[in-house]
Amino acid sequence: MTEQKNTLDLPRFGECTFADSDVIEFPWGLPGFATLRRWLPLNVESHPSFIWLQSLDDPAVALPTADPWLIFEDYDPKLPAYAFTSLEIREASDFTTLCVVVVTKNAEEMTMNLMAPIVVNLRSRKGRQIMLDNVSYSAREPIPRKIPASSKTA
Amino acid sequence: MLVLSRKINQSIMIGDDVRIVIVAVDRDQVKLGIEAPRSVPVHRSEVYEEIRRANQEAISAPVATPAGKADRATLRPRK
């Protein structure tokens, strides 16, 4: 069965086509965006390391994120119990982890939020930004200037 | 805001399954005990604020509009 396609004209990305099954629902919102519940993960050809979470409720809002292990290979978030129960995840294959990237005003420094990863259940497509109990991770960990263009060599 | 007075070892209920107990009071510091289901996140407000500010900055940062077409990203579990 062919799925219904939706098209949007986005301020940052221009025209974009997606299916309902691409959408990630954040039932609890995100800190700072409590009322924005539906987000679309986007890739841009020229910046393959980034996954942009584009709000479908407010087209002006797009949150840059990336796979933390592309940059911090030793990252070892211990997800608290509420992450597993509220998102109904059991094992590593159930979910993906994204961390929000902040670019400073002069665009000279990028930081990644390792303290509060965004976890998405890949089957239910429900997501939540999870605050780690162990606060040894920074919400603004500096990213080395050069992000690898593709996944690290295994 | 609802304001309640409590003594040490007294508590308040929030809904049916969250209990907050006054454990100790020492000058301007209060120790609270929190009993909540495992599905309920409990954080200091400052931590939540820090995450909120970082998220807000992330969307307003002057990232040049990315060149190239935006496509649906396929999300995969960590290998």
pLDDT at position B70: 82
Confidence at A154, pLDDT banded by 50, 70, 90:
very low
A chain contacts of residue B55, beta-carbon cutoff 8 Å: 30-33, 63, 100, 113, 129
What is the rounded CA–CA span in Å between residue A79 and residue A23?
Answer: 23
Q: Which value does ipTM take for this structure?
A: 0.87
Taking the CA atoms of residue A82, residue A85, residue A87 and residue A90 in that order, the dihedral angle to the nearest 10 degrees is 120
Q: Which residue has the higher pLDDT, B74 or B61?
A: B74
Q: Could you tell me which CATH number the domain at A5-143 has?
A: 2.30.290.10
CA-nearest residue of chain B to A86? B39
What is the rounded CA–CA span in Å between residue A64 and residue A13?
Answer: 12
Average pLDDT value for residue range A31-36: 95
pTM: 0.87
What is the rounded CA–CA span in Å between residue A62 and residue A151?
Answer: 23
What is the distance in angstroms between the Cα of A121 and the nearest Cα belonging to chain B? 9
CA-nearest residue of chain B to A117? B51
A chain contacts of residue B61, beta-carbon cutoff 8 Å: 64, 102-105, 107
What is the distance in angstroms between the Cα of B26 and the nearest Cα belonging to chain A? 25
Q: Do B70 and A43 touch (CB under 8 A)?
A: yes
Average pLDDT value for residue range A125-144: 91
Domain extents for chain B? 11-59
SS (H, E, C) A26-95: CCCCECCECCCCEEEEEEECCEEEEEEEEECCCCCCEEEEECHHHCCCCCCCCCCHHHHHHHCCCCHHHE
Domain extents for chain A? 5-143
